[in-house]
Chain A
Amino acid sequence: MPLVHNLLTDSAKRCSDRPALICEERTCTFGQLDEGADRLAAVLQDRGLRRGDRVAVFLENSTELVMVVFAILKAGGVFVVVNPTTKARKLAYLLNDCGVRVLFSQSSLANTVAKALIEAPSVETVVWATASPSDDPRSPTIAQWLSDAKAPPADPHLIDMDLAAIIYTSGSTGGPKGVMLTHQNMTNTAWAISTYLGNTPDDVVLCVLPLSFDYGLYQVITGARVGFTVVLERSFAYPYQTLKRMEQYRVTGLPGVPTIFATLLQMAPFEGVDLSSLRYLTNTAAPFPPAHIRRLQQLFPHARIYSMYGLTECTRVSYLDPARLADKINSVGQAMPNSEAYVVDEQGRRVGPGVVGELVIRGANVMRGYWGKPEATAERLRDGPIAGEKVLYSGDLFYTDDDGFLYFVGRRDDVFKCKGEKISPREIESVLFELEAVAEAAVVGVADPIDGQAVKAFVVPRHGHALTEQQVRQHCRASLESYMVPKFVTICDALPKTDTGKIRKASLVEAGSAATD
């Protein structure tokens, strides 16, 4: 059974000169990527990195990010990719939570890093992509390390049960939780995804998703497995530029989330841009509106469209065979290869077609648990049908039809998705409460034509305090990743409550949706 970095090494042996990555017009071949990762791994080991040590990667999408991820694995470490819009306090939380020893970052994020490091004593070394913001010898650059390497890295004697990555996800309670994925999890999932998508070495996949998001990360991992090229974009900030790049590199695969497809559809019919190379589109992270699927089918009649479903705790669960779009457009399909997904009732018993219950996932894709959180882990990972086996309780409500196809109904808690990212209302509310003028706050998701769901905050000011929408939004921008900053803010006198004093979020969602229509 291979390890994740073996996927890259094998591709480098098979097709050393093929482009692995194209980022900002720069091409990096499989051979160059593998060799660079080897060099960085050797220096990491030289600096004392041991098997199982955690290394954080706080970088924007770039060739360096991918090289560093593979270097960490080759050195025997566990990588933690952090969204580059993360603010200092949360970065410090993540670094502390899993005890990160080495941090890779870039000079444009130096202020955030400096603030976070004050509260993160476990970090011994910071390595900078491009220029180092200081002369401190403890702050080398990736370029220095690449030239420092003397010998290939030593074999860290990993087995596939060892951890490869920790991916942070928000939940309805507590701070973000680190999903632990083993080499076995990741190589299995990369195999399963590239198998059902029918990826070939001739594919050219455009990735605008951040690699801190597992959906983005897996473009690179499956690319390494299959030997296809990933055109890695820093973001989707300039959609027209992205379209031009799709034409330029004859892109065959476009992974997206509903926000991205909604933006693309607004730009249709793409005059003067030839996108005829596109062979497939995939959607996950939030439900794919059928109207959008139909319009994309008209725009790209030769492309297969995959409606998929997953969660960080097992990466991917299911996909709908594009041939079934005609009769099952609302379904997210069936379990992907080598995994099983079924619906259970409150007692954990399997239920028949048409009955709504919690979706349970069984397979090699299921995480090992949350880092350092045995209680939260026990809630999600429960005993499966075979002795000693754990299955994943998703927290998502589903039903199946008579043919066994899965249909998403909603969440069991108040977590929702915006731009494909998981939003924990509680995380935003606790930031709102830091404002002295805030007496009460509630955050809900409201329907939004572009983002699927948008973040809406209701805030009640304390007596004698004035509060403006702009103050609220500015405060949120300073503490939260950009996707969590409320799109809508309503300052009100009171929040609707139940007899027991609990905020009635359902009425807020209704009020919010009516107000934003």
Chain B
Amino acid sequence: MNLEQAVRRYIVENFLLGEDSGLSAAESLLGTGVVDSTGILELVMFLEESYGIEVRDEEMLPENLDSIANIVKFVERKLVGRRVAAQSIAG
């Protein structure tokens, strides 16, 4: 399962009661009412636990979290950052 599938599955299971009603990757999660403010926090916890990343307060922004596509881009960026950091420590 790739990153997008995993994020979609989490959202469908937790916020859409298991029914994938054809949510597009670009749709606003808050704007369509799929996720509310409490849901955003749950989503962040899921991302932190599943991908071992740390989401800082100032990264809690719609451009990072408000659609499946934005989440995927954000997590990918964080993972690259983590790898670079790990390499520099190892090096």
Please give the residue numbers on chain A whose beta carbons come within 8 Å of chain B beta carbons, in ascending order: 84-85, 108-109, 234-241, 266-267, 272, 470, 474, 477-478, 482-483, 485
Q: Is the CB of A474 within 8 A of B17?
A: yes
**For window 34-57 of chain B, which residues contact chain A by CB distance below 8 Å?**
36-40, 57
Q: Are B57 and A239 in contact (CB under 8 A)?
A: yes
> Could you tell me if A85 and B30 are in contact, using CB atoms closer than 8 angstroms?
no
Residues of B within 8 A of A477 (CB): 15, 17
Q: B22 an interface residue at 8 Å Cβ cutoff?
A: no
A101 to B38, CA, bound (A): 32
Across the interface, A108 reaches (CB within 8 A) one of B18, B33, B38, B39, namely B33
User: How many angstroms between the C-alpha atoms of A241 and B60 in the bound complex?
Assistant: 8
In the assembled complex, the Cα of A234 lies from the Cα of B36 at a distance in Å of: 10
Interface of B is mostly: helix
Task: Tell me whether B32 is interfacial, beta carbon within 8 Å.
Answer: yes
Known contacts A84-B33, A85-B33, A474-B17; is-contact A240 B38 (Cβ 8 Å) = no
* Distance (whole angstroms) from the CB of B27 to the closest CB of chain A: 9
CA distance A235 to B32 in the complex (A): 13
Known: A109-B33, A236-B37, A237-B37. A478 touches B17 (CB 8 A): yes
Measured in the bound complex, the distance between the Cα atoms of B14 and A474 in whole Å is 7
* B58 engages A482 (CB within 8 Å): no
CB pairs A–B below 8 angstroms (29 shown)? A84-B33, A85-B33, A85-B36, A108-B32, A109-B33, A235-B36, A237-B30, A237-B37, A237-B40, A238-B40, A238-B61, A238-B62, A240-B57, A240-B58, A240-B59, A240-B60, A241-B60, A241-B61, A241-B62, A267-B57, A272-B58, A470-B13, A474-B17, A477-B15, A477-B17, A482-B38, A482-B39, A483-B38, A485-B38
Residues of B with C-beta under 8 A to A85:
33, 36
- Measured between beta carbons, the chain A residues less than 8 angstroms from B38 are 482-483, 485
**Does B31 make an interface contact (CB < 8 A)?**
yes
Contacts of B31 in A (CB 8 A): 108
In the complex, which residues of chain B have a beta carbon less than 8 angstroms from the beta carbon of A234?
Answer: 30
Q: B1-39: which residues lie under 8 A (CB-CB) from chain A?
A: 13-15, 17-18, 30-33, 36-39
Q: Which 8 A-B pairs have the closest CB atoms?
A: A237-B37, A482-B36, A237-B40, A235-B37, A267-B57, A240-B58, A108-B32, A240-B57
**Other A-B pairs, 11, CB within 8 Å; known A85-B33, A108-B32, A267-B57:** A84-B33, A108-B33, A235-B30, A238-B61, A240-B58, A240-B59, A240-B60, A240-B61, A241-B60, A477-B15, A482-B38
